[in-house]
Amino acid sequence: MLKRIRITLAVVFITLITLLFLDFTGTAQQWFGWMAKIQFLPALLALNVVVVVCLLILTLLFGRIYCSVICPLGVMQDIFGWMGKRAKKHRYSYSPAKQWLRYGMLVLMVAVMIAGFGGIAALIAPYSSFGRIVQNLLGPVWAWGNNMLAGWAAEHDRYMFYETDIWVRSWTVFAIAAGTLAILAVLAWRNGRTYCNTICPVGTVLGFVSRFSFLAPVIDTSKCNSCGLCSRNCKAACINSKEHRIDYSRCVTCFDCIGSCHKGAISYARRTSAATVAGKQTEVVDSSRRGFIAVAGVMTAAAVAKAEDKTVDGGLAVIVDKKVPERRTPIVPPGAVSMRNLTNHCTACQLCVAACPNGVLRPSTDAASFMQPRSSYERGYCRPECTRCSDVCPSGAIKPITIEEKSSIQIGHACWIKDNCIPIVDGVSCGNCARHCPTGAIQMVPSDPDDENSVKIPVVNDEKCIGCGACENLCPARPFSAIYVEGLRNHRII
């Protein structure tokens, strides 16, 4: 019964959280956005005391229920573990805790985060790992399915579904997500919750608390015949059936042992001051994932494409893809407040990246801010009516802002590159940047101050420019725009 409740809740959580990362329409976010916000690490980084305290109390009362129900990465591993168990029954066995590894990882993580390398910490954080896997691996499949429906709807002149772009934001992060999934799948298939009890920092922290939990599985030694079935079915490898001891710091309260015992010797009950096993240290193979960090791709520069010759009757000019300009200061979305705030709070879960409807956000590949969101405007720009990333962020890295606030937050400023500017290169009038500037920061002025009729070029009023990238995105110069945005380390209000 307990197990059934656990599984039901777990399925609900993992399904809806997965949906958060997939649903690009933002509908799921409106209803289930809170599910991301109650994740431990994001809540901690958002300094969301209420959630953190509640989670700790929950663990103190019931053990690491969090790991079995709320944490999507944990539930995902259970799915692989379940498949593993179908392949071979009773496949687990007890092993002592690998304390030095657990605490080592925790200390490392805290140290790295304090040092300001949140991106590296994010490599081992559970919720963000899950987000990356869904966004990178499942996202394209979902979008593809949607596009099939959209195609069908278009044929029938319906407007319920609309097509969405399918693109990989960063191949590095894609590789990391794929690698994480592969390792977790193998570990979970063979040994259950190895990751949760050796690497996961959240698991370690909650383990401190669950050691003293009010309710827990307890072995009634009078009924136990030491058959060891419980131990061989424990995915956390925490039941020492020979000594009738359970390591509650590692137990994820899955209730599997209760069902596995033929004698009814295990029950979920108030704990007597029975033993908690402090594991002995043994040799361990460290499955480091740093090896998966690939190197960013190299860009090849190309000359600015010339506009196509004019013939008549049909045909479409070839449009060259825009390339990412080299920005001295990266751009982070409005609501991030500053580069520092983002770096300190971001868990790199990719929720904002998945939610961005304009193709602006993608994970960074810099070491210091690894996998944290960065803005770039080749595919779209930060549209004035959109606050999606600030709505979804669970960790306070991108703080909630309103649409009204957004148009007054300066996240960067536009810079003009004369050599790319179409009026100068092609000698035709343009002004597309000025026409689309939402704050009216760009004016078109004659290029020759003495000649009113000379071609007009854009001039930017830095005080008014908010760095939304409309100009950069809509600039006809390709592959490099004639106007591009430099980020601001600290956002300003104008």
Partner 1 sequence: MKNKINRRDFLKRMGVGAAAVSAAAITGCDSKNNPVTGNQTASGEIPMGEMTYRTNPKTGEKVSILGYGCMRWPDLSGGVGRSDADLDQETINELVDYALEHGVNYFDTSPAYCRGRSEEATGIALARHPRDSYFIATKLSNFAPQTWSREASLQMYHDSFKKLQTPYIDYMLLHSVGGGEDAMDTFRKRYIDNGILDFLLEEREKGKIRNLGFSYHGDIAIFDNLLANHDKYKWDFVQIQMNYLDWNHAKEINPSNTNAEYLYDELDKREIPVVIMEPLLGGRLSDLPDHVVARLKQKEPERSVASWAFRFAGTYPRVLTVLSGMTYMEHLQDNLLSYSPLKPLSDEEKQFLFDTSSLIVQYPTVPCNDCKYCMPCPYGIDIPAILTHYNKCVNQGNIPETSQAPNYREARQAFLVGYDRSVPKLRQASHCIGCNQCIVHCPQNIAIPVELHRIDRFVEQLKQNTL
**Per-residue binder mask for partner 1 (CB under 8 A), 385-424, x = binder:** x------------------------------------x--
- Which is closer to partner 1, CB of 55 or CB of 422? 422
Amino acid (one-letter) located at 43: A
Among 122-130, 208-216, 269-277, 376-384, which window interacts with partner 1 (CB under 8 A)?
376-384
Q: Does 30 bind partner 1 (CB under 8 A)?
A: yes
**Per-residue binder mask for partner 1 (CB under 8 A), 451-490, x = binder:** -----------------------x-x--------------
Among 227, 384, 399, 486, contact with partner 1 (rule: CB under 8 A) = 384
**Per-residue binder mask for partner 1 (CB under 8 A), 93-132, x = binder:** ----------------------------------------
Q: Tokens for 326?
A: 């080299």
- Which is closer to partner 1, CB of 245 or CB of 323? 323
Distance CA 47, CA 494 (A): 27
**Per-residue binder mask for partner 1 (CB under 8 A), 288-327, x = binder:** -------------------xxxxxxxxxxxxx--------
- Which is closer to partner 1, CB of 271 or CB of 436? 436
Checking 51-60 for CB contacts under 8 A at 24+ apart, the result is 55/206, 56/206, 56/209, 59/206, 59/209, 59/210, 59/213, 60/209, 60/210, 60/212, 60/213, 60/214
User: To the nearest whole angstrom, how small is the minimum distance from the Cβ of residue 166 to partner 1?
Assistant: 14
User: To the nearest whole angstrom, how small is the minimum distance from the Cβ of residue 31 to partner 1?
Assistant: 6
In the window 128-187, what residues touch partner 1 (CB under 8 A)?
Answer: 150, 154, 158-163
Distance CA 147, CA 162 (A): 7
**Which residues are CB-neighbours of 216 under 8 A, at least 6 positions away?**
63, 210, 246, 248, 251, 253, 268, 269, 271
User: To the nearest whole angstrom, how small is the minimum distance from the Cβ of residue 448 to partner 1?
Assistant: 19
- Which is closer to partner 1, CB of 314 or CB of 449? 314
467 close to 414: Cβ distance less than 8 angstroms: yes
- Which is closer to partner 1, CB of 116 or CB of 151? 151
CA 462 from chain center: how many Å?
Answer: 33
User: To the nearest whole angstrom, how small is the minimum distance from the Cβ of residue 133 to partner 1?
Assistant: 25
Site size for partner 1 (CB under 8 A): 40
**Per-residue binder mask for partner 1 (CB under 8 A), 201-240, x = binder:** ----------------------------------------
Q: Does 31 bind partner 1 (CB under 8 A)?
A: yes
- Which is closer to partner 1, CB of 220 or CB of 426? 426
- Which is closer to partner 1, CB of 159 or CB of 272? 159
User: To the nearest whole angstrom, how small is the minimum distance from the Cβ of residue 440 to partner 1?
Assistant: 14
**Per-residue binder mask for partner 1 (CB under 8 A), 422-451, x = binder:** x---x-xxxxx--xx---------------
Q: Tokens for 64?
A: 């690491």
Q: Does 91 bind partner 1 (CB under 8 A)?
A: no
Residues making contact with partner 1 (CB under 8 A): 25, 27, 30-31, 150, 154, 158-163, 307-319, 380, 383-385, 422, 426, 428-432, 435-436, 474, 476
